[in-house]
Structure 1
Amino acid sequence: MALAAAHDVLASPRAAQDVGLVVCAWVLDTDTDWKLAPRLARKAGARRAVAIGVRQLSNGGAMGVQIAAAQMMAEASLRAALVLTGDALGPDAPGRWAEGEGAFMGDAATALLLSRTRGRLAVRSIASSGHCEHEADFPTANPLLGPPPSASAAPAKSGSGSFLLRRCVRDAVQGALADAGLDTDDARLRIVMLPRLAPWLLDVLTTGLLPEALKAEQLRLTARTGHLFAGDMTANLDHLLHEDALEAGQYALLVSVGSGFTATCLVVQAVSPLTDADLHQKGVATS
């Protein structure tokens, strides 16, 4: 699936050759994941790219975007970077239905192409915040690969863990808006897109933390797909592009979170009307 998504955004062999960095994020483990990033880069046609893997659970795709954007700012010769996510539990995995973990899980892959050429959306800022002390409270074994937790073992809807993750979200939102030069009441802030998690968890993580102007513009797409492992943010970018949700000059704030804890917020701006040519240069795909 990740390879199919990559082919969707790399419209030509030349586009693949321009990719100098491939960042691949995933959550689940398989016997061949030790070389997943270079394998996907090779099969996508980015054979000269530096390929790296990111393991940051549900926030992996968002962190991949931040790594790629930072590298492009630091390395002037880097023309394009490809960010991939992909996970599949399969039809019989009991962990798929563990809503207590945050949401039902949806098998999916996403691909995001960052380039220096003009596209439909421009990255204006991206910021992250982490609090790793709560990692010790999580089980050693991946809970998605075992039986669903009992009701008594499901994560609490409040407490120190929720407080720490709320602090991550708050700091990432404030950092991203400040770096983009936006105030919380800026009228150009039209949409906030939240991760594809259970409604109760989104309420716990974001109530009172988002700019007032955005509260009526929140987009929650969990019901359409479930939680897409590391791919929520990149899938949400795909939605912005396919729905042509922003007019030129308007901004969107995308929020991502991951257990452990980490939160990443991305600010993008629509910079030109969507055209047929943009459909081949849009830079995001899902599978």
Structure 2
Amino acid sequence: MRWDNLYVAGVGAYLPEQVQTADEAVALGLYDAEESIGNGIRSVRVASDEEAPPVMAAAAGNQAVQRSGHAHADFGLVLHASIGHQGQEFWTPANYVQNETVGGSGTALEVKQGSNGGLAATELAAAHLTARPEHSAVLVTVADAFRPPYFDRWASDNQQVYGDGAGALVLSSRGGFARLLSTASYTDSSLEPIYRGVHGWTKAPFEQGTPVDLRSRKSDYLLQHEDAYEQTIHLMTKNAGLALQEALDDADTKLADAQFFVHANIAESIANFSFYTMLGVERARTTYDWGQTIGHVGGADQLIGINHLLESGRPKAGDRIVTMGVGVGFMWTVAVLEIVSTPSW
């Protein structure tokens, strides 16, 4: 989808101060040494008990709102995305984030699209601003804390190491430091069982009292027949390419002409194959070296990465940023931005 007169007016991030390194996790028996080498994640941020995901989201959101220059009354929608537990059961964290940031009587909604939550919410924000011109701003926040015993950040999944934190973005129809040129999303629900598994349903979260085991769910799915792995890789590669090409075409952009590419903080082996080999992206154009020090912060990776990129001062007026996400389900979203001016912050 090509977007006209939509801008990123502010971004923000919150990362806990506590750090746990991969070497420390290996020494404690929490992390396999060989996996550590292959995954390439050097450290993660670890939230304290007081740093519940919505608290971190509000901190990142307030930073983005302040940088945007928008008054609280400008916000007609707050979207909060997440993967895991948000600090309470039977509760609406989006309303907490709204109350702690912009307040007001606008709509507050949750987005549950896994690691694609941040970019999926950004596309929804663009549609809202286009359909509701009386609103000039939307706040998007994403936050997670991957805490034991419910989730094991080092071992619940393979080729992923999970860090805690939050990212935020203000999308505006009034102006900003970057234009949102386009977004594109592609969904393939035939791949949904990969993260659900094949062994039925649970009655409640943490029913078995053991950490979430995404490894077994994926292996059970991929071992159903001998071609499952190859078919899955083929579909994922094809679908990612479709979303990417649509976004690039709508933005009149070629990937080689984009100065920056922001992707998730995934295993180095996957990044090398998916982005640096298949797409030909130069690693120096990404935020991945830095991302290896914070781990995979769910759907916040792209917003945190864009924030880091802007704070580094590297993007200049006229530069284009392509950012790409994928979430269990499966859904791919790509967004293309063009820097209008270097923000003062």
TM-score scaled by length of structure 2: 0.70
Q: Decide whether aligned partners of structure 1 residues 101 and 17 sit closer, same or farther in structure 2, where only a CA change above 3 A counts.
A: farther
Matched, 1:86 2:143: yes
Q: Is the 8 A contact 2:276 2:283 kept in 1?
A: no
Is residue 2:309 matched to residue 1:240?
yes
8 A contact 1:195–1:233 mirrored in 2: yes
Return the alpha-carbon distance in structure 1 between the equivalents of residues 97 and 283 of structure 2.
38
- Aligned residue among 3, 13, 17 for 2:73: 17
Per-residue CA distance 1:125-168 (angstroms, 9 max, x = gap): 11111111011233256899425747x94997952222222122
Gaps of 5+ in 2: 1-55, 223-227
Question: Which residue identity is paired with 1:130?
Answer: T
Larger radius of gyration: 2
Measure, in 2, the Cα distance between the counterparts of 1:266 and 1:33: 32
Task: Check the 8 A contact 1:17/1:48 in 2, yes or no.
Answer: no
**C-alpha contact (below 8 Å) 2:65/2:139 kept by paired residues:** no
Match of 1:95 among 126, 133, 152: 152
Shift of 1:89: 2.0
Query: How do residues 100-179 of structure 1 correspond to structure 2 at under 5 angstroms?
Result: 100-138=157-195, 139=197, 145-146=211-212, 149=215, 153=219, 159-179=230-250
Rounded Cα–Cα distance in structure 2 between residues aligned with 1:33 and 1:110: 23
1:185 CA displacement: 4.3
Alignment of 1:175-254 (within 5 A): 175-186=246-257, 189-206=258-275, 209-210=278-279, 212=280, 217-220=285-288, 221-254=290-323
Following superposition, the deviation at residue 14 of structure 1 comes to: 6.3
State the identity %.
Answer: 26
Distance 1:202 1:76, change over 3 A: same
For the residue of structure 1 that corresponds to 2:79, the secondary structure is: strand
What's the C-alpha RMSD, in Å, of the aligned pairs?
Answer: 3.0
CA distance in 2, matches of 1:145, 1:162: 27
Structure 1 stretches lacking a partner, 5+ long: 280-287
CA drift at 1:65: 0.5
Matched residue count = 273
Q: Deviations over 1:54-101 (max 9, x none)?
A: 111110111000100111122211110000111112365552003743
Residue 29 of structure 1: aligned partner: 85
Matched residue of 1:176: which SS? helix
The alpha carbon displacement at 1:271 in A equals 0.7
Q: CA deviation at 1:21?
A: 0.6
Q: Provide the rounded CA distance (Å) in 2 between the counterparts of 1:201 and 1:137.
A: 17
Could you tell me which residue of structure 1 aligns to residue 17 of structure 2? none
SS at match of 2:92: helix
Q: CA deviation at 1:8?
A: 1.5
How far has the Cα of 1:109 moved from its partner?
1.3
8 Å Cα contact 2:156/2:211 also seen in 1: no
Aligned to 1:4, which of 38, 53, 59? 59
Kept in 2: contact 1:256–1:265 (CA 8 A): yes
Per the normalisation by structure 1, the TM-score is 0.83
